[in-house]
Amino acid sequence: MKEQISSLLKASIKALDVKAEIPAGLLNNLRVDRSKDKAHGDFATNIALVLSKPLHQSPRDLAAAIIAHLPACEQITQVEIAGPGFINFFVRKEDIAAQLMQMRADERLGVAPTAAPETIVVDYSAPNVAKEMAVHHIRSTVIGDSVVRVLEFLGHKVIRANHIGDWGTQFGMLIAYLERRENESGAGMDLSDFEAFYREAKSCYDSDAEFAERARRYVVMLQSGDKYCYQMWQKLVKLTMDQNQSIYRRLNVTLTEKDVCGESFYNPMLPGIVQDLAAKGLAVRDEGAMVVFLEEFKGKDGQPLPVIVQKKDGGYLYTTTDLACVKYRVQTLHATRLMYFIDSRQHQHLEAAWLIARKAGYADDSIKIEHEAFGMMLGKDGKPYKTRSGGTVKLRDLLDEAVARVDALLTTRGSSLEGEARQQVINNIAIGAVKYADLSKNRLTDYVFDWDLMLSFDGNTAPYLQYAYSRICSIFRKAALSCGPIVLTCEAENELAAKLTAFPEAVRQVADKAMPHLLCTYLYELAGIFMRFYEACPILKDGTPEEIAQSRLSLSDLTARVLKQGLSLLGINVMEQM
């Protein structure tokens, strides 16, 4: 309907007799919005306000002229001018009802597959080997995974890229320490506490000259392909990724072992990249290192920003890897959109790498490269989220705590669930709450991690939405009737109907902007509108005419399906009973 109204408006504006030129950009960005208040119609546009300046006309006069020139359309029952010059559209109720019936018959709930499928690389999660997953990895993992689900649902080809930190000079030290631990313990060892492992390795390196010497030798050996060092390195990668994989499973995140494509993968390509940048005159030797000077980024002193791509000692850097990575993703994977879910502190690094990649011709202007940045997770004190003793919060511990809290919560709420079923529900609520707390905020801002808020059954939370879903399921358990044709008979029904038809847009927005909170807000509003509808419009009450009860059951069923589908795109499960 939105598109339809928008083309009617364009036709009308074309037919207007105006002297001044209409800037093309204005018409391309013509906005038709859903009205918040149904008394003001179903849709509204501000186009008359936007055009009034270039056309030198008062907005209300212009609105009147646009309305006068609108081509006829039988689905629109009324058009009026509002306030300073808004145009409101009223859509025929039968058409909305028919649209809902179509949605009901459609497994995809009206969300059409995209007309222009792309190959999209989504770079997310990216933890580091032999390190605990830190908070920024949790955010990247959860937000990235929901965008991946949405993109795939829309029919794009998505390549998940888990760009793990699995290369660098620290591996000499880690291999030497793994070797020592294995010698001490005899056989296999438990590497469950990466923090301790890394700390101990570092302290051996700092205090034991012989150990440090061996560590340095191992780096060189690893880099020149020595078999023993390579195997030890592989062991470290596997130990880390096995543990992370179990966290992904627990979090209901779709990443698998196959999606790992870490820094080490690009390592063999790095000499070629530096050579190529030098041949293209982009990288020059400066104090022994190979450096690209970027005029576009001025440092503090007003000088072009120097970006080192190879150190004096021959070593490569994080940026060099990201250059190779762009080239590979575009030229070998043939992606046309690259999305990086990385914490906002890495913004300048990424922008610099991508600018070099563009200059070197690794990605032309048709390729979209996007930093889907996000802020930090803060504690209630407004400082970065840490354990009481100031350490990194282990994701495992965080999830364990969520489960314990939900367990207690169910007991307080007097839940009658037991055994396996209870465990399942606890898990769904706990994981859902933690993920949703992150997903529901605009990712660009920092957010405060607050157990009480995220586990509340009121407000914009996963438990609230899951509860709304299970409440609708309970209506169906009690109802003697089944769903029937939809007829809209009152305001509460109209409002619910209008919200339901907006689902496809909410999904598409997540794909366009990489912002899952837009879908969260939609679902939260939908659940609220449903609750109001359910209070105002009896379904199970005696005396409700059968066709009306059946229509309301259809509206309820559609709401439940939209909630379930929407939450599933966010990676969150629903339950029939909780």
Q: In the complex, which residues of this chain contact ligand ARG (CB under 6 A)?
A: 123, 126, 128, 163, 165, 322, 325, 340, 342
Residue 322 CB, nearest approach to ligand ARG (Å): 5
Residue 363 CB, nearest approach to ligand ARG (Å): 14
How many angstroms separate the CA atoms of 394 and 243, rounded?
A: 12
How many angstroms separate the CA atoms of 513 and 146, rounded?
A: 12
How many angstroms separate the CA atoms of 284 and 290, rounded?
A: 5
Q: Cβ closer to ligand ARG: 211 or 266?
A: 266
DSSP per position, 77-128: EEEEEETTTEEEEEE-HHHHHHHHHHHHH-TTTT-PPPSS--EEEEE----B
Of 114, 120, 76, the C-alpha closest to 95 is: 76
Q: Cβ closer to ligand ARG: 161 or 430?
A: 161
Residue 516 CB, nearest approach to ligand ARG (Å): 19
How many angstroms separate the CA atoms of 434 and 391, rounded?
A: 20
Q: Where are the alpha helices (DSSP H) in 130-193?
A: 135-153, 170-185
Residue 319 CB, nearest approach to ligand ARG (Å): 9
Residue 82 phi, psi dihedral angles, 5° rounding: -135, 145
Residue 351 CB, nearest approach to ligand ARG (Å): 12
Under a CB-based contact definition with an 8 Å cutoff, are residues 465 and 429 in contact? Answer: no
Residue 433 phi, psi dihedral angles, 5° rounding: -65, -45
Of all residues in the shown chain, the one whose CB is closest to ligand ARG is 126
Instruction: Find all residues with CB under 8 Å of 66, minimum gap 6, and list them.
Output: 9, 12, 13, 16, 47, 48, 87
Q: Cβ closer to ligand ARG: 85 or 165?
A: 165
Q: Cβ closer to ligand ARG: 86 or 194?
A: 194
Q: Cβ closer to ligand ARG: 141 or 461?
A: 141
Of 405, 410, 387, 411, the C-alpha closest to 451 is: 405
Residue 164 CB, nearest approach to ligand ARG (Å): 6
Q: Cβ closer to ligand ARG: 122 or 549?
A: 122
Q: Cβ closer to ligand ARG: 126 or 173?
A: 126
Residue 349 CB, nearest approach to ligand ARG (Å): 8
Structure tokens at 150: 């949405």
Q: Cβ closer to ligand ARG: 126 or 519?
A: 126
Environment class of 413 (CB within 10 Å of its CB; exposed 0-12, middle 13-18, buried 19+): exposed
How many angstroms separate the CA atoms of 160 and 477, rounded?
A: 40
Residue 126 CB, nearest approach to ligand ARG (Å): 4
